Amino acid sequence: MLPSRVSISLPLSSMSFDTNARRQAKELFDALMDRLVKDLTTAAREETEAAATAVRKEADAAVAAAEKEADATVAATRREAEAAIATVRKDAEAAVAAARHEAEAIVAAARKDAQEAASAAREGAVREAEATAATARAEAQRVAESQLAAARADGEARLAAAQAMNAGLMEGIEAAREEVKTLEALLQQLENERAQLLQARDHAGAQLEGETRRANELAEALDGAVQEANLARQTASLSKVEADARRQDRELALDRFGVALRTIDRATSPKDIFDALLEPLAHDFAKTAVFLVGTAGLKGWRARGLAATNDITKLVIPRGSDTLLTRAVNTRKRAQASAHGDEPPVALWGGAVANAVALPIQAGDEIIAVAYAEDAEETSSQAVGRKIAEMLIKHAALRLTTKGKAPSQAAASVGTGHMPSSDEGNLESAEYSIQRQARRLKMQEGIEATLDGSPTSLVDMSTIGVQVLSPLALRPNRIVKMALRGGESELTCKVRVMWARFEQPQGGAAAQYRVGVKFTDLEPKAIEAFMARHGIEPARERTKPVKLKDSA
- pLDDT tens digits, 217-228: 888 888 888 888
Are 112 and 61 in the same domain? yes
Contact between 473 and 515 (Cβ < 8 Å): no
- Together in a domain, 39 and 177: yes
Give residue 201's pLDDT.
Answer: 87
User: Is 429 in the same domain as 445?
Assistant: no
Of residues 201 and 73, more confidence is placed in: 201
Among residues 183, 204, 225, the one where a domain terminates is 204
Domain that holds residue 30: 11-204
* CATH number of the domain bearing residue 467: 2.40.10.220
Q: What is the C-alpha separation between 418 and 243, in angstroms, rounded?
A: 52
Do 197 and 346 lie in a common domain?
no
Q: What is the mean pLDDT of residues 226-241?
A: 82
User: Ranked by mean pLDDT, which of 68-77, 177-186, 253-262, 350-359 comes out on top?
Assistant: 177-186
On the CB side of 228, CA atoms within 13 Å amount to 6
Domain membership flag for residue 211: no
The pLDDT of residue 527 is above 80: yes
CB atoms within 10 A of CB 287: 22
If asked whether residues 94 and 75 sit together in one domain, one would say yes
Nearest to 545 by CA among 393, 403, 367: 403
3-state secondary structure of 502: strand
For the stretch 342-348, contacts whose Cβ atoms lie closer than 8 Å and that sit 24 or more positions apart, written own/partner, are: 347/287, 347/374, 347/376, 348/287, 348/289, 348/323, 348/324, 348/372, 348/374
* CA distance linking residue 543 with residue 500, whole number of Å: 21
The CATH number linked to 283 is 3.30.450.40
Q: Using an 8 Å Cβ cutoff, are 172 and 45 in contact?
A: no
**What was the pLDDT predicted at 138?**
83
| Backbone phi and psi for residue 256, each to the nearest 5 degrees, phi listed first | -60, -40
Check whether residue 107 and residue 192 sit in a common domain: yes
Confidence label for 439 from pLDDT (cuts 50, 70 and 90): low
C-alpha torsion sign, points 372, 375, 381, 383: positive
Is residue 546's pLDDT more than 50? Answer: no
pTM of the model: 0.38
| Poorest-pLDDT segment among 283-287, 409-413, 504-508 | 409-413
Q: Are strands 465-470 and 479-486 parallel, antiparallel or unpaired?
A: unpaired
* Structural domain includes residue 228: no
DSSP result, 263-301: HHHH-SSHHHHHHHHHHHHHHHSSEEEEEEE-SSEEEEE
Query: What letter represents residue 451's amino acid?
Result: L
Q: Indicate if 410 and 527 belong to the same structural domain.
A: no
In this structure, the answer to whether residues 406 and 445 fall within a common structural domain is no
Q: Is position 94 within any domain?
A: yes
Q: Kindly state the average pLDDT of the residues 76-87.
A: 80
Residue where a domain stops, chosen among 434, 449, 476: 434
Q: Are residues 422 and 450 in the same domain?
A: no
Per-residue pLDDT, 539: 41
Residue where a domain terminates, one of 411, 434, 457: 434
More confident: 212 or 89: 212
Same domain, yes or no, for 459 and 317? no
CA atoms within 13 A on the CB side of 209: 5
Question: Residue 352 falls within a domain, yes or no?
Answer: yes
* pLDDT of residue 32 exceeding 70: yes
* Residue 218: inside a domain: no
Higher pLDDT: 210 or 422? It is: 210
Instruction: Please give the pLDDT value at position 493.
Output: 92
Contacts of 413 (CB under 8 A, 6+ apart): 405, 430, 431
User: Cβ distance 325 to 292 under 8 Å?
Assistant: no
Q: Please indicate, yes or no, if residue 260 is contained in any of the structural domains.
A: no
Mean pLDDT of 321-336: 88
pLDDT-derived band of residue 126, with 50, 70 and 90 as boundaries?
low
Distance from C-alpha of 73 to C-alpha of 51, rounded to nearest angstrom: 11
Residues in the chain: 552
pLDDT at 147 over 60: yes
**Pairing verdict, β 465-470 and 512-519:** antiparallel
Do 385 and 464 sit in the same domain of this protein? no
State the Cα–Cα distance between residues 452 and 494, nearest whole angstrom: 9
Residues 46 and 188 in one domain: yes
pLDDT winner (highest mean) among 6-20, 25-39, 117-131 = 25-39
- The answer to whether residue 151 is domain-embedded is yes
Looking at the structure of the chain, the number of domains it has is 3
Res. 480: pLDDT tops 90: yes
238 found inside a domain = no
Predicted local confidence at residue 40, as pLDDT: 81
Candidate from 32-36, 250-254, 490-494 with smallest mean pLDDT: 250-254
280 contacts 392 by C-beta, under 8 angstroms: yes
The mean pLDDT of 350-358, rounded to a whole number, is 79
Q: What residues contact 28, with CB distance under 8 A and at least 6 apart?
A: 1, 2
